[in-house]
Structure 1
Amino acid sequence: MAGRGEQDGAGSVLAVGILGATLTFTAVLLPLLAALAMNQSVQNAADASALAAADTVSGFAAGYPCQAAAEAARLGGASVTDCALDGLIATVSVQRRFLVFDLAAEARAGPP
């Protein structure tokens, strides 16, 4: 066939290049998006832990405030790193390991 010469297979090389770039982009982007979702999960666990501690310290629930916070964090897949009470206000810090990252969050709760 006349006129093709050195361009034989150029479309295949281009397709392989685009496929490789797409796979690389996906391999980098997917863990980052998963980390964002996991970070929100850790924040939710911190909120639930602070609410559990505040409910316990105010008398709405039985038990010990920081123990209730630890249980709420465990149910959310995290662990309590700090639990502080200031009157009826509970401040709780939690963390969770995701891949090679330690994701942490803090929340406060108390009476309205």
Structure 2
Amino acid sequence: MLRDNIKNIFKHTSIYSLGWIASSLAGIILLPIYSKYMSRADYGAVDLVQQANAIIRIIFSSSFNVAVSKFYHEAENDRERKKCHINKCYRSICIRNNCIIFLCDI
């Protein structure tokens, strides 16, 4: 039982990790292309966008959906389920708005 759960965790972790690794490899592969065909100012702008993308990925990968799903199914009645869903929506909106405000200031 425990061994199967551990195998399942590693399987799912490896699948999610492949996307992150592929994204990082794409950035490394494109680096010579960026430096050959772009000016330093253009390269700086691309780097700024990539850094903003990294920050957004960290914030949005905080797995609110997984956590809400867990608490939603653990709720004992419909009132608690609705409360869980409303909290998820409110937190998602707050986080996204803060990201947008942060990016607009850049």
User: Which structure has the highest helix share of the two?
Assistant: 2
Compute the TM-score of the two structures, normalised by the length of structure 2: 0.39
Larger RCO (CA under 8 A, 6+ residues apart): 1
User: Which structure has the highest strand share of the two?
Assistant: 1
